Amino acid sequence: MKRLLLLLILVPCALLAQTTEYGSFKILNAEIIYQHVFTQDSVSTEKLVSFLQNVPGVSDVQVAGQAVTATLTDFTVDYKKFGFAQVATPTLIQTGRYSGNIRVDGKAGKYRVTISGLLVRGDAGYKKINNNEPLTAYATTTSGTQLNRDWCKPNTLGLLDKALTDRFTFLQQSGNDW
């Protein structure tokens, strides 16, 4: 009986907890950011610059100390590539064009991609977004202090997470054209 009472007390507390992270997305300074750490042997600043210069939708690649900065523009999510049907994918994920500021930091055996200032334009279903607007306004609640529960699903932020992770996975180019 005591265990049941304890369980009934703890379950509502867990349900009231604020969600501030989902996959590689988290809230930092009332803004949603994407931050993912990739493992890669022998990564260098020069290799990261070369890689980013060949990533579609990435421009203005610059070295800033030990980091590499760039701009992401018009990134789209290929929901079919990840096995999602059109009816199971929210309209803003299907039609959204995402932009943001990229920062890549490298260490021995790994590199971290951070995308801040995430902007979106597209069709939200109830609203056409013709000009870039902060993704934070759609994916968070209470002034950017917690993630919106409707966005914490595999077919929304989960799908955007998969697409960004796929785009920024370092591909070693071979020396031949085979």
Q: What does the pLDDT look like over 67-115, one tens digit per residue?
A: 999 999 999 999 888 888 888 889 999 999 999 999 999 888 899 999 9
Nearest residue to 167 (alpha-carbon basis) of 178, 175, 159: 159
pLDDT in tens, 19-70: 888 999 999 998 999 999 999 888 888 888 999 999 999 999 999 888 999 9
Residue 141 has pLDDT above 80, yes or no: yes
* Per-residue pLDDT reduced to its tens digit, 147-165: 989 999 999 999 999 999 9
Domains of the chain with CATH codes: 19-167 (3.30.530)
Nearest-angstrom CA–CA distance, 97 and 99 = 7
What per-residue confidence (pLDDT) applies to 14?
46
Which tokens sit at 174? Answer: 């071979």
Quote the pLDDT of residue 161: 94
Chain centroid to Cα 72, Å, comes to: 12
Q: pLDDT by residue (tens digit) across 113-139?
A: 999 999 999 998 888 999 999 999 999
Average pLDDT, the chain: 86
Distance CA 90, CA 98 (A): 15
pLDDT of residue 17: 58
Dihedral angle sign, alpha carbons of residues 72, 78, 79, 82: negative
Element holding 29 (H helix, E strand): none
Given a cut of 50, whether residue 1 has pLDDT beyond it is yes
Counting residues of the chain whose pLDDT is more than 90, the rounded percentage is 53
pLDDT higher than 90, residue 6:
no
Q: Give start and end residues of each alpha helix (H) in the chain.
A: 2-15, 45-53, 91-95, 136-139, 157-167
Burial track 129-146 (b if 16+ CB lie within 10 A, e otherwise) = beebebbbebbbeeebee
Do 76 and 153 meet the contact criterion of CB atoms below 8 Å apart?
no
The model carries a pTM of: 0.84
Q: What per-residue confidence (pLDDT) applies to 64?
A: 87
